[in-house]
């Protein structure tokens, strides 16, 4: 066991035996780890092991078994996210996506930063659906999926009204639409935006505005991409889909 001090984000906790808990924390220094908290309800750690809590943890890290939290400081919580069922469900989804994308114990400070930054922007009130789409597009690489939304797969030209072909796992320009008669028939704004999302800097986010119809088209296309190339089915994603259906019923 070695003692380490690191920023961490609580992914989830679950009950273990009588009053103990297992807590999964994504740490900046040591990747995702499972921590054992004894007598959790009476512990000084009770408040800091709630999902979506960020803190600096003083930890005893084990590479083979469970790790332990010795102490913590500089706790912050996402208050606005926790108070809004929509924001909370999207935040929960990207957290579970990050959990699914990399193995436990794997050092990945870049993904850690990206996840925390995305949650901070949701907390600040930026569009949580678009932030989720950006997260989904950029994390594809962690699932071993590399898609080019920038140029035609055949002639490599850029800046055209592209469509996507699952057959060729890439874009088709108007001159090459005919290569795949089962192409996606996308609104060309969908691949255009996904191309921007792949490389976007968070500072540029303020300038992106997407209307509801286009958002729905992006959602459907990303669902198809995830079905085809990633193939995971997260409960938190199903919850978002159901929430969307209820939202529609309440609007109409
Ligand atoms: Zn082409």
Same fold yes or no, 1-77 and 79-252:
no
CB neighbours of residue 30 within 10 Å: 22
Ligand 1 centroid to residue 167 C-alpha, Å: 15
Q: Is the pTM of this model over 0.85?
A: yes
Q: Which CATH class is domain 79-252?
A: mainly alpha
Ligand 1 centroid to residue 106 C-alpha, Å: 39
**3-class secondary-structure state, position 39:** coil
Ligand 1 centroid to residue 15 C-alpha, Å: 55
Beta bridge partners of 67: 35
Ligand 1 centroid to residue 174 C-alpha, Å: 7
What tens-digit pLDDT sequence spans the chain (252 residues)? 889 999 999 999 999 988 999 999 999 999 999 999 999 888 899 889 999 999 999 999 988 889 999 999 999 999 999 999 999 999 999 999 999 999 999 999 999 999 999 999 999 999 999 999 999 999 999 999 999 999 999 999 999 999 999 999 999 999 999 999 999 999 999 999 999 999 988 777 777 789 999 999 999 999 999 999 999 989 999 999 988 777 667 665
Ligand 1 centroid to residue 90 C-alpha, Å: 36
Ligand 1 centroid to residue 142 C-alpha, Å: 28
Ligand 1 centroid to residue 186 C-alpha, Å: 16
Ligand 1 centroid to residue 132 C-alpha, Å: 30
Residue 165 tokens read as 């072909």
DSSP readout, 135-188? Answer: HHHHHGGGGT-----SBBTTT--BSS--EEETTTTEEE-GGGGGG-TT-----T
Please identify which residue in the block is written with the tokens 């019923």: 249
Ligand 1 centroid to residue 157 C-alpha, Å: 6
The domain locations on the chain are: 1-77, 79-252
Alpha-carbon distances of 191 from 74, 103, 166, 196, rounded to whole Å: 41, 29, 13, 9
> Architecture of 1-77 per CATH?
Beta Barrel (2.40)
Ligand 1 centroid to residue 160 C-alpha, Å: 9
DSSP H or E run through 71: strand 68-77
């Amino acid at each position: 066991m070695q003692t380490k001090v690191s920023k961490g984000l609580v992914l989830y906790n679950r009950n273990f035996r009588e009053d103990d808990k297992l807590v999964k924390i994504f740490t900046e220094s040591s990747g995702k780890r499972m921590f054992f908290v004894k007598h959790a309800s009476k512990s000084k750690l009770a408040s800091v092991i709630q999902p979506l809590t960020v803190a600096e943890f003083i930890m005893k890290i084990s590479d083979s078994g469970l790790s332990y939290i010795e102490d913590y400081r500089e706790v912050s919580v996402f208050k606005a996210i926790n108070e809004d069922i929509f924001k909370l469900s999207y935040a929960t989804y990207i957290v579970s996506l990050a959990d699914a994308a990399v193995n436990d114990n794997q050092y990945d400070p870049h993904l850690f930063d990206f996840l925390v930054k995305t949650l901070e922007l949701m907390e600040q009130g930026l569009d949580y659906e678009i932030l989720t789409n950006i997260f989904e597009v950029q994390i594809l690489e962690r699932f071993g999926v590399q898609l080019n939304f920038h140029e035609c797969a055949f002639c490599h030209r850029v800046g055209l009204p592209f469509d996507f072909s699952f057959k060729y796992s890439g874009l088709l320009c108007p001159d090459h639409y005919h290569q795949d008669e089962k192409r996606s028939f996308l609104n060309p704004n969908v691949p255009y935006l996904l191309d921007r999302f792949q490389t976007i800097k968070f500072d540029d986010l303020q300038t992106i505005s997407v209307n509801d119809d286009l958002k729905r088209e992006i959602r459907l296309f990303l669902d198809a991409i995830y079905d085809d190339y990633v193939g995971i089915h997260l409960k938190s994603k199903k919850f978002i889909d159901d929430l969307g259906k209820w939202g529609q019923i309440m609007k109409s």
